[in-house]
Amino acid sequence: MTTNLTNEVLDLLNGSVTEVFNTMFSLEAKPAAPHDLQASGETLVAGSVGFIGDVNGVVYLQVTAAFARVLASLMLGMSEDEIEGDEMVNDVVGEVSNMIVGAVKSRLCDSGSSCVLTIPSIVRGSSFHVEPTGSSNRRALSFQCGADHLLVELLMKPSK
Amino acid sequence: MSKKILTVDDSKTIRMIIQRAFRAHDCAFCEAGNGEEGLAAAAREKPDLIILDITMPVMDGITMLTKLRQDPELKVTPVIMLSAESGRDSIAKIAQLGISDYLIKPFKEEQLLEKAGKVIPLTLKAAA
């Protein structure tokens, strides 16, 4: 049952990422083979949103800092030069994470698995890994948007 | 005549996206980052339309809307609710709050303009 639920959430994430990127950025996020975002040594930005209730888990959305600025530029209708500092970029990544996981949460509630969302949080760095604790499962989805990549990591706690 | 729109959302990104959606129209904007600030802004600015997020810190959108409807001067102000949650129960609850319409994130600018245009008359800015 846990594996089925995890697969259900992964399917929902797949659809949600595609929809959010198409709607908010007019970008096609295509499911892709695993891509090591850290291999280039670039700074990464990860937005995370959790869900708590009948199902419990957290989703991390990782992109390079450079791609995050592109996304912020597209979402805000500003040139990258006009975006000063990281605050607005972080807000965009957080909001995108919220939209993606919000859609998943809605579908889970409709199917009878009630849960609520946590607030988004942002992590920045060039070398970090998302690792599950002993009791949770980790699954990952990779997407490609043109020349850029997106990694979505799901950590889920087994259902009671 | 310029329409005044109050956007209440804890995300500056969303507030900017909303304002940008109306760039071709004759609208003035005021904004707030939570329901408490939203109530103060509504009382001060007397907007023609409020675009209100649900999930916010300090005071959420549902609480703000409830208090808004208790204010004799503001209770008829049209409200479009924003939410990242599209579940059946969430939509059913939103629909019972006496709002003019709702919009689920993610959304296209055209969707927002269409819904706002049904609530308040939008006029294009005069050509420069």
Range of the domain at A75: 2-157
pLDDT number for residue A135:
81
CA-wise closest residue to A68 among A46, A41, A40, A39: A46
CB contact under 8 A, A76 and B105: no
Our CA-based measurement puts residue B16 at a distance from the nearest CA of chain A, in whole angstroms, of 7
CB atoms within 10 A of CB B70: 9
Q: Is B87 on the interface with A (CB under 8 A)?
A: yes
Binned at pLDDT 50, 70 and 90, residue A159 comes out as low
More confident residue, A134 or A55: A55
pLDDT number for residue B128:
62
Q: Which CATH number belongs to the domain containing residue A106 in this structure?
A: 3.40.1550.10
Q: Which amino acid is at B76?
A: V
Strand segments, DSSP code E, in B12-111 are: 27-32, 49-53, 79-83, 101-104
H/E element, B17:
helix B12-21
Q: Best of B55, B90, B105, B109 to disrupt the A interface by mutation (most A CBs within 10 Å)?
A: B105
Answer yes or no: is B106 within a domain.
yes
Our CA-based measurement puts residue A102 at a distance from the nearest CA of chain B, in whole angstroms, of 5
Mean pLDDT of A23-42: 91
Q: Best of B13, B62, B103 to disrupt the A interface by mutation (most A CBs within 10 Å)?
A: B13
CA atoms within 13 A on the CB side of B121: 3
Answer yes or no: is B127 within a domain.
no
Answer yes or no: is B72 within a domain.
yes
pLDDT over 90, % of chain A:
71
Residue A37 has pLDDT above 70, yes or no: yes
Residue A160 has pLDDT above 60, yes or no: no
More confident residue, B6 or B94: B6
Q: Is B30 on the interface with A (CB under 8 A)?
A: no
Range of the domain at B104: 3-119
Our CA-based measurement puts residue B107 at a distance from the nearest CA of chain A, in whole angstroms, of 6
Task: List all residues of chain B from 57 to 76 with a beta carbon under 8 Å from chain A.
Answer: 57
Answer yes or no: is B51 within a domain.
yes
Cα(B20)–Cα(B43) distance, rounded to whole angstroms? 24
How confident is the model over B27-84, as pLDDT tens digits?
Answer: 999 999 999 999 999 999 999 999 999 989 899 999 999 999 999 999 999 999 998 8
**Above 0.90 for ipTM, yes or no?**
no
pLDDT number for residue A4:
83
pLDDT number for residue A67:
96
Nearest residue in B to A96, CA atom: B106
Which DSSP string do the residues of B66-85 spell out, in sequence order? HHHTTSTTTTT--EEEEES-
How many structural domains compose chain A?
1
How confident is the model over A106-150, as pLDDT tens digits?
Answer: 999 999 988 989 989 999 988 888 887 778 889 999 999 999 999
Q: Which CATH number belongs to the domain containing residue B43 in this structure?
A: 3.40.50.2300
Residue A1 has pLDDT above 50, yes or no: no
Lowest mean per-residue pLDDT among A23-32, A109-118, B70-79, B113-122? A109-118
pLDDT number for residue B92:
81
- What is the value of pTM for the model shown? 0.90
How many structural domains compose chain B?
1
Closest CB to B85 among A94, A95, A105:
A105
Our CA-based measurement puts residue A139 at a distance from the nearest CA of chain B, in whole angstroms, of 24
CB contact under 8 A, A75 and B106: no
